[in-house]
Each structure stands twice: as C-alpha cells, then as structure tokens.
Amino acid sequence: MMGLCGLDMSTPLHWLELPHLKNSARAGERWLAEVAGLKDFLAGLSGRKPTRKMLLDSLTTFQQARQTFSRLIEARRAGRVPAVWFFLIANSFFLDRIERWTAALDAALPTFQTQAKAAGLVFLAGSPIYFPNFKLLHLLEVAGLTVTGDDLCSSERLLPAQVTMDDPTDFGLLRALAESYHQGCLCPTFGDNGRRLNNIRGAVLGTTIKGVILHVLKGCHPYDLESLTLEEPLKRAGLKFIRLETDYAAEDGRNLLTRLEAFGNNLENL
C-alpha cells in the first residue's frame, strides 16, 4: 500500500515534533519527551532495550568523531585542506559507519599539506550541499574563491554539539543527547536564533575572510527568509555579502559565475 509521499505505509513510521524555539524551557522539555519517545519506538522496533552503556558508548563515539572533525575544520582554516575535499569528507560521514569514518579521517589528517596561499577567502552559509550537487562549489573554484569556513548542516554543522555528560544516569544521558541536538543546533527553522548570526561573526570577524556567501537552495526556505537578518548586520560589520538562490539544475551556472566573479573582484577592493 502506497501512502504519504510514496512511502509504503506498512513501514512503521514515527513522527517527531520538532521545537521551533531554543531559549524556552518548555521547548526543551517537549523535545526531551520526543527523544524519549523515539528511544521507546526504536526499542520496540528492534526488540533491544537501549542500556545506559549503549547510550554512553554511542555518545562517546560521536564525541570522538566530533573531536577528529574539529581538527579537519582547523586544517581547512589553516589552508591545508582544499574546499571541495573538505565537503566530500564531510558528506561521506552520512554514508559510512561512524567508527570507520572517524578512524579514516584520523589517519588522513596528517597527510594534508599546506596549500599555495589562496585568495578570495569566503565563508559559506546557508542551505546544505550534498554530493553530487557540487555545482556551487565548482563555480566558487572557477571564480577564484576559496571557502575556508561554513555553517552548512551538511558540512561544519553535520555533527551535534558537544555533550556535557555530568549526569551519568539513563535520564541524564538522554537529556544530554537531546540538548546537543536542540541547544547546539543552528538551523534557521528556530525562531529565536541570534546564535546563527553570532556564529558567523565569530567565525569571520578578525580573520582573513572578507566575504559571506549565503546559499539558498530552492525548497530550503528558512535560509531565504533569514537572508535579510544576516545581510544587514554583516555588511555593517564591513563584510561583503551575497545571496545566491539556486537549485539542482545546471542551467543557471553562467549567471551564478558572473555574480561570483564580481563578488571576488569586490573582495579585492576591500
């Protein structure tokens, strides 16, 4: 039987109600209840009751992945990792077992060498970029721009925030897990999200990055809606800003490239 969005409705489906606020105790409690409900659903589905040790092991595994990934982020900032490689490595996280991905990245990190000094350093914000739709990344390279930082949920934000495990009980670990995906998330779907702007400011101001590119993927509207709230303050801070709306089709490549080339020339004027 086919049902909603072409899904086979005989497949067990569990709905998560996501909170729209972060700075609200009520939203946090509701989200915790949702995560607890998901835990019960998975336990029923698999026939395995998650133990405290399983949860602790999983949280530790993610923490290790995050620590290793942070070293990759630093390596890119230092100009040792080409932008497209960085995005490919980040994307591969979704396709591999986390332990194997972390071990492979750990082994690869020392091999990254300092690249030739890059010009046109930019920060890429906005909608996620998933392989094979690397159109924008390719055009950025053609335009002579180098992404040295980003806040994409497919890239620098792919792992949840660091978990504070100060309460080792079942409930304490579950709360820590829930908070890492709630308080630590910078997705613009949240209404009270000043941290998104602060995060970009923190990553860019005082560095050699002079421009911010906001990638708006058609269908990923929250980034479009937030563009004005980012544009004005970032420009006031002396940064160049450009919003690029695009999709998975290649036909707007020339149009995008024209804008990126001009944006790169603008950065040189700073």
Residues that bind other proteins (CB under 8 A): 235, 245-246, 251-252, 254-255, 258-259, 261-262, 265-266, 269
- Beta-carbon contacts of residue 152 (< 8 Å; ≥ 6 apart): 124, 125, 126, 127, 128, 129, 215
Residue 55 or 214: the one with the smaller Cβ distance to other proteins is: 214
Q: How far is the CB of 235 from other proteins (least distance, A)?
A: 8
Q: How far is the CB of 268 from other proteins (least distance, A)?
A: 10
Residue 170 or 252: the one with the smaller Cβ distance to other proteins is: 252
Residue 42 or 228: the one with the smaller Cβ distance to other proteins is: 228
- Provide the 8-state DSSP code for 161: P
Which ranges constitute the DSSP H helices of 47-158?
A: 52-77, 83-92, 98-108, 135-142
Q: How far apart are the first and last CA of the chain?
A: 60
Q: How far is the CB of 82 from other proteins (least distance, A)?
A: 23
Contact 60, 99 (CB under 8 A): no
Residue 50 or 233: the one with the smaller Cβ distance to other proteins is: 233
Q: How far is the CB of 243 from other proteins (least distance, A)?
A: 9
Beta carbons within 10 angstroms of residue 170's beta carbon: 15
Across-strand partners of 122?
Answer: 147, 211
Q: How far is the CB of 137 from other proteins (least distance, A)?
A: 18
Question: How far apart are alpha carbons 25 and 182 in whole angstroms?
Answer: 11
Question: How far apart are alpha carbons 189 and 20 in whole angstroms?
Answer: 7
Q: How far is the CB of 265 from other proteins (least distance, A)?
A: 5
Please name which of 95, 96, 98, 94 lies closest in space to residue 68, comparing C-alpha atoms. Answer: 98
Residue 74 or 268: the one with the smaller Cβ distance to other proteins is: 268
Residue 133 or 189: the one with the smaller Cβ distance to other proteins is: 133
Q: How far is the CB of 238 from other proteins (least distance, A)?
A: 12
Question: How far apart are alpha carbons 269 and 24 in whole angstroms?
Answer: 43
Question: How far apart are alpha carbons 268 and 266 in whole angstroms?
Answer: 5
Residue 49 or 235: the one with the smaller Cβ distance to other proteins is: 235
Question: How far apart are alpha carbons 114 and 81 in whole angstroms?
Answer: 8
Residue 164 or 255: the one with the smaller Cβ distance to other proteins is: 255
Q: Which two tokens stand for residue 145?
A: 């721009």
Q: How far is the CB of 39 from other proteins (least distance, A)?
A: 43
